[in-house]
Each structure stands twice: as C-alpha cells, then as structure tokens.
Amino acid sequence: MPQLAARHLSKAFNGVRAVDAVSFSIPDGAFLALLGPSGCGKTTLLRMIAGLEKPDGGELLFDDVAVAGPRGVLPPEARRLGMVFQSYALWPNMTVRGNIEFGLKVQKLAPDERRRRIEEVLEVVGLSGYAARRPHELSGGQRQRVALARSLALRPGLILLDEPLANLDAHLREAMLAEFRRLHSVSGATFIFVTHDQEEAMAVATHVAVMHRGRLEQVGTPEDLYRRPQSEVVARFIGRGRTLPVEVLASADGLCTLDLAGAVLKVAGHAPAGPGWLCFHASDLSPAPQRGPLAGQLAGQLAGEVVNQIFQNGVYASELAPLGIDVETISLALPERLAPGTRVEVQLSGGWVIPRRSSATPTLAGGTPATARSPA
Ligand SMILES: Nc1ncnc2c1ncn2[C@@H]1O[C@H](COP(=O)(O)OP(=O)(O)OP(=O)(O)O)[C@@H](O)[C@H]1O
C-alpha cells in the first residue's frame, strides 16, 4: 500500500500552473527528494502535501485515504506529519527542551511521557546534554537537528523537509546529509525533502522526483534516473548527461540497434524504430582499444578531436568535439595528455535509448541540447 499518492494534483497562481497534473506514489518509509530548478513547483507540491496550500484539482491520499480532493481538504494538524524548514523556525527565547516540549504539550502528553520523548529524540539526533541551551548557543547544524528532533518527538508518519540544508556551509551539509540518512532509517518515518541540488537528492533519497515547469518528469530510484531516464530532460539534467540524436533501426528484448552518424551499435533501452535519443554520461565513454580482437569492432563507434584536458584525480578529464555529429562536446577520462586536435576513437560501454518524440529540446540547468547534421 503506498503511503502517499498524488493523482493529477494541480495548483495555479494567477493562471500560471505551479503544479500541473502531478501523479506519483511512494511506499511507506521512503525517502523522497523533490528535485528541480527554482520555480519548478517543488515547494508548492510540498505545501499541498502539508495541507498549507489547497489544490485546484486532483487528489492527495495518505494510506489510501484522501486528505485533499473534491470532497475537501484536511488541515495540516490532522495529517500526522512534521515539517522542518530551512529557517529552522525555533523559538529563540526557549531552550532546546522547551522547543521540543511545546508540541508535546499541545498534544496533551503527560509530563513523564514528554520527558521520555525529549530524551529519546535528543539522543537520536546526537544532542543529549544540550537540552538547556538556547538556539543562539548552537551551531547551524545543531539548530537543524533540534528542528528535526522537535518533529520526530511527535512521532509523525511523514516528515517534510523544505531545503533543510540551504543555510549550512558545504562541510556541514555533507555531515547533515549522512545524519538525515541515519535519522530516516532509525525513525522509520517517510521523509520528503525539497532540494534543487541533485547531488544532495541522489546521495540521500531512496526515490527522486524530478520536476520541470510544474510537471513531474520521472520518479524513480537514483539509479533509475541516472541509468534509465525516461525523458530527455531527465537524461540531460542528472549527472550532466548528454544526449545524441540517433536513428533506432530495430528494438528487441530491451536492446536497441541504432545508427549513430553512420556507425551501427547496440545499446540498452526501449524505443521503437525511428528517431531516438542516445543518453549517456562521461563514465560510459572510454578510449577504444587500438589493438586486440575488439579493436576493429569498437573503433569508429564515435570519434572526436581533443578540445581541452584537465588533469583531475589521476586522469585527464577531456572534452572532445565529436566528428560527424553537431553537438558541442562530449566528456570522458583519458589516461594521457594529448595535443589539441588529436583524433581519439571512443567506445561506448553503457548508455540508454529513448524515443525522440518532438523537435523541442527542453533542458534543466546544466543540460546541453544537441542536433544532428545527419542522418537525423
Ligand atoms: N503564493 C504564490 N503566489 C503566486 N505565485 C506563486 C506562489 N507560490 C509559488 N508561486 C509561483 O509558482 C511557481 C512554482 O513556485 P515554487 O515555489 O513551488 O517553486 P520551487 O521549485 O519550490 O522554487 P524554489 O526552488 O525557488 O523555491 C513559481 O512560478 C512561483 O513564482
């Protein structure tokens, strides 16, 4: 049974569709990241899940029960959820204990139970011994953990986190990411986390929902999004992916035979015969062997001329201008320094093929549209 499901959920502001017919479901205990560039509708979707925003259309279900839909909207306090904001929203004049206890008093829990829960959650977030401090006596990361402890104390089934790491420095963010993963697994709650940082999303989430202009492009595991993108937008956005226009000649058993600028190759994917996109990352490319049984077979899959190289982590991170394909550059790691203009034969050892449905080439930040000179 999915714990959370959205069906054609929509919300517009002044005629602009902030969230446009979004449907997805996630299982109990998932850690879902809502990912996408600024303005794509992540926060609006989160606020509808929280009950802070009323959908214009569609339905939202918790454990198969509608909390928002044609029959009405359940208020936030009736949804058994906790929220953690980037601003932490701690009361500055209250101690850590007071901040956590406030919600427990509202729930009318007995003093003994309140004390037990406060000790328990402070231990979970690693802040036992900090109960008497006030927020200004804590670091940013510690404040964030108090905000989370305050939510966890109420034992919600669902915790919503709105860019919770946005105000922390890079070092602290990394530490807090590991902390969130740990807290998610010990609490057993479902977490939904809004971020525009894909490294954050891919590192921490069990499921990632990629949003683009109010639409949900794809929901899947980080591996699904990286290895099996379902749209060009996702293919280009995740992991600085590249897409090349290809002609799919045949397709069977999850393998496509395709023509890439005159070379015929087989790549995993599901696309009918016709125009397709070959989606890949720098890690799928390597220099083709010059000798050995595969040399003739692999050479000529793709060739390019060296444009630029940077020595990085023991290899030469290289940009090549592919020959015969009108795409800016492709990136791969080469073992040696080569003069600009040197021709390199490249082999593809991964990749994924999707159908090319229209000539539009939408991208999220960081993507590079490509067009073919031939034969597309
Ligand atoms: N209360 C509002 N009134 C009018 N327009 C709004 C309101 N809230 C959001 N929007 C608009 O809806 C769209 C989606 O906004 P939203 O805040 O959901 O995006 P986001 O992906 O969370 O962006 P960010 O990462 O910048 O927070 C934007 O075009 C935004 O300007």
Which domains can be identified in the chain, with CATH numbers?
2-223 (3.40.50.300), 231-355 (no CATH)
pLDDT tens digits along 157-179:
899 998 877 777 777 788 778 88
Segment 331-358 shows an average pLDDT of 90
For the four alpha carbons of 19, 22, 28 and 32, in that order, the dihedral sign comes to negative
Does residue 49's CB lie within 6 angstroms of at least one atom of ligand 1? no
What is residue 88's predicted lDDT score, i.e. its pLDDT? 65
Tell me the C-alpha distance between 278 and 351, whole Å. Answer: 7
What is residue 165's predicted lDDT score, i.e. its pLDDT? 78
E strand intervals along 134-204: 158-162, 190-195
Does residue 91's CB lie within 6 angstroms of at least one atom of ligand 1? no
Does residue 234's CB lie within 6 angstroms of at least one atom of ligand 1? no
Site to probe by mutation for ligand 1, drawn from 11, 34, 44 as the one with most ligand atoms within 8 Å of Cβ, is: 44
pLDDT band at 56 (very low <50, low <70, confident <90, very high): very high
What is residue 114's predicted lDDT score, i.e. its pLDDT? 95
Does residue 40's CB lie within 6 angstroms of at least one atom of ligand 1? yes
pLDDT band at 354 (very low <50, low <70, confident <90, very high): very high
Q: Are 204 and 193 in contact (CB under 8 A)?
A: yes
Question: Could you tell me the distance, in angstroms and rounded to a whole number, from the CA of residue 41 to the centre of ligand 1?
Answer: 6
Tell me the C-alpha distance between 122 and 236, whole Å. Answer: 41
Decide if pLDDT at 300 tops 80.
no
Nearest CA to ligand 1 atom 11: 18
Rounded to 10 degrees, the C-alpha dihedral 285/287/292/295 comes to: 80
Segment 148-156 shows an average pLDDT of 87
Question: Could you tell me the distance, in angstroms and rounded to a whole number, from the CA of residue 36 to the centre of ligand 1?
Answer: 12
Average per-residue pLDDT for the chain: 86
3 state DSSP class of 96: helix
Between 324 and 139, the more confident residue is: 139
Q: What are phi and psi of 172, to 5 degrees?
A: -65, -35
| Selection from 280-289, 295-304, 330-339 with the highest mean pLDDT | 330-339
Question: Could you tell me the distance, in angstroms and rounded to a whole number, from the CA of residue 293 to the centre of ligand 1?
Answer: 56
What is residue 1's predicted lDDT score, i.e. its pLDDT? 45
User: What is the layout of strands, in order, in the sheet containing 72-73?
Assistant: 16-27, 2-13, 57-62, 65-69, 72-73
Nearest CA to ligand 1 atom 2: 13
- pLDDT over 70 for what percent of the chain? 91
Between 364 and 249, the more confident residue is: 249
What is residue 280's predicted lDDT score, i.e. its pLDDT? 92
Does residue 290's CB lie within 6 angstroms of at least one atom of ligand 1? no
> In the numeric block, which tokens belong to residue 213?
């202009």
What is residue 272's predicted lDDT score, i.e. its pLDDT? 94
Segment 183-208 shows an average pLDDT of 91
What is residue 227's predicted lDDT score, i.e. its pLDDT? 95
Confirm whether the ipTM is greater than 0.90.
Answer: yes
What is residue 367's predicted lDDT score, i.e. its pLDDT? 39
Decide if pLDDT at 46 tops 70.
yes
Nearest CA to ligand 1 atom 17: 43
For the four alpha carbons of 49, 50, 56 and 59, in that order, the dihedral sign comes to positive
Segment 182-203 shows an average pLDDT of 90
Does residue 152's CB lie within 6 angstroms of at least one atom of ligand 1? no
What is residue 365's predicted lDDT score, i.e. its pLDDT? 43
Decide if pLDDT at 299 tops 80.
no
Question: Could you tell me the distance, in angstroms and rounded to a whole number, from the CA of residue 32 to the centre of ligand 1?
Answer: 20
pLDDT band at 302 (very low <50, low <70, confident <90, very high): confident
Between 106 and 67, the more confident residue is: 67
Q: Are 214 and 201 in contact (CB under 8 A)?
A: no
Question: Could you tell me the distance, in angstroms and rounded to a whole number, from the CA of residue 174 to the centre of ligand 1?
Answer: 27
Tell me the C-alpha distance between 111 and 104, whole Å. Answer: 9
Decide if pLDDT at 366 tops 60.
no
- For residue 88, is it left (φ>0), alpha (ψ between -120 and 50) or beta? left
pLDDT band at 291 (very low <50, low <70, confident <90, very high): low
pLDDT band at 87 (very low <50, low <70, confident <90, very high): low
Segment 194-199 shows an average pLDDT of 92
Does residue 13's CB lie within 6 angstroms of at least one atom of ligand 1? yes
Does residue 43's CB lie within 6 angstroms of at least one atom of ligand 1? yes
What is residue 362's predicted lDDT score, i.e. its pLDDT? 44
Between 313 and 294, the more confident residue is: 313
Question: Could you tell me the distance, in angstroms and rounded to a whole number, from the CA of residue 44 to the centre of ligand 1?
Answer: 6
Amino acid identity of residue 348, one-letter, is L
What is residue 292's predicted lDDT score, i.e. its pLDDT? 54
Decide if pLDDT at 363 tops 70.
no
